[in-house]
Amino acid sequence: MNYTLNQLQIFLKITETSSITLAAEALFLTQPAVSIQLKNFQQQFELPLTELIGRRIFITDFGKEIAESAARIIEQVYEINYKSAAHKGEITGKLKISIVSTGKYVMPYFLSKFIRSNPGVELVMDVTNKERVIQSLEKNEVDFSLVSVLPESLNIEKLDLLENELYLIGNSEKKHKKRLKFEELFLDLPLIFREKGSGTRQTMEKFLKSHKLSVLKKMELTSNEAVKQAVLAGLGYSIMPLIGVQRELDSGEMQIVPVKGLPIKTMWSLIWLKGKKHSSVAKAFLKYLEKEKENIVKEMF
């Protein structure tokens, strides 16, 4: 057999995505290049690794076994590279972070300089909803998680990074200059919620309950970007983190609707399981944040 590391990486990505197109996008390769490498890789085995049904590609049982071996080989190659760099005094290894979807407006700024200064660090960042973020932390699949609502069910430690402010946001069609009663806004248009499990939704529901507010018309969408586009299109209002709509507010496409009790203030916090034994990379990142977070907030926010 004469397979290459590149072929192993391509096949592993195909098994993860169940798609040659998606694998090509993830690896920044053309679709024909991925198809050719897959064909060359498959030719080295007597049993088929994949099965094409219609336009869908399926991984055979044998292919899944090969993918597991490929993952171990690639991990060992990374380990060799990490050890080589570590002997030269460089910070190396994987840094795994899960963040809630609105955290994508926050976390990159706290990572940028650290990653640029340490090329031996491989970042793996999962952007998802709060429920899945907490699951990944609970299963010890990540080093850190970024949340704006702390989990009550886990014993954690935390590092506060940035204050999070949430306002009622609408598009710019109808100007709202004076403070309004909350219920008056939702006689015609709905209040747009994120899906269950979202930290933003939990914050919204807590606000409504604490102020004894009821909303007759509601809409539920499954991402912060979908909520933003719905608000821009005039489908309703939503309580949103300021940091996620700052550009639209500056351009005049959106406006803050003045309502009693808002903004809601929470805190963006990096959290980890209490007593977790951090890797050298995770320790270095935590030390970096403790030293630089105030400067990052001043410069970037």
Q: Give me the residues of the chain with pLDDT under 50, please.
A: none
pLDDT computed for residue 159 by the predictor: 97
Q: 58 and 14 in one domain?
A: yes
User: Quick one: pLDDT at residue 84?
Assistant: 64
**Which pLDDT belongs to residue 81?**
67
Same domain, 48 and 191: no
Please check whether residues 128 and 147 belong to one and the same domain. yes
Other CB atoms within 10 A of residue 258 CB: 13
Report how far residue 8's alpha carbon sits from residue 75's, in angstroms, rounded to the nearest whole number.
Answer: 11
Query: Do 245 and 207 share a structural domain?
Result: yes
250 and 281 housed in the same domain: no
Which parts of the chain are beta strand (E)?
Answer: 50-53, 56-59, 93-100, 121-128, 144-147, 156-171, 191-194, 218-221, 238-241, 254-256, 264-273
Helix 61-87 and helix 5-17, axial crossing angle in degrees, nearest 10 = 120
> According to the model, what pLDDT value does residue 292 have?
96
Residue 39 lies in domain: 5-87
Last residue of a domain, one of 54, 71, 87: 87
Q: What is the DSSP letter of 259?
A: B
Say if residue 153 is in the same domain as residue 184. no
At 22 the pLDDT is 87
| Per-residue pLDDT at 98 | 94
170 and 262 part of one domain: yes
Question: Of 25, 59, 87, which one is at a domain's C-terminal end?
Answer: 87
Judge if 147 and 280 occupy the same domain. yes
Q: What CATH number is given to the structural domain containing 250?
A: 3.40.190.290
Instruction: Indicate whether 173 and 261 sit together in one domain.
Output: yes
Query: What pLDDT, on the 0 to 100 scale, is given for residue 87?
Result: 55
Task: Report pLDDT for 86.
Answer: 57
pLDDT of residue 105: 92
User: Do 143 and 65 reside in the same domain of the chain?
Assistant: no
Residues 119 and 143 placed together within one structural domain of the fold: yes
Phi-psi region of 8 (alpha: psi -120 to 50; beta: other; left: phi over 0): alpha
The total of structural domains in the chain comes to 3
Q: Which CATH number covers residue 17?
A: 1.10.10.10
Domain CATH for 158: 3.40.190.10
Same domain, 152 and 279: yes
**What are the pLDDT digits (tens) for 257-270?**
988 888 999 999 99
| DSSP SS3 for 233 | coil
Q: End of a domain among 49, 70, 87?
A: 87
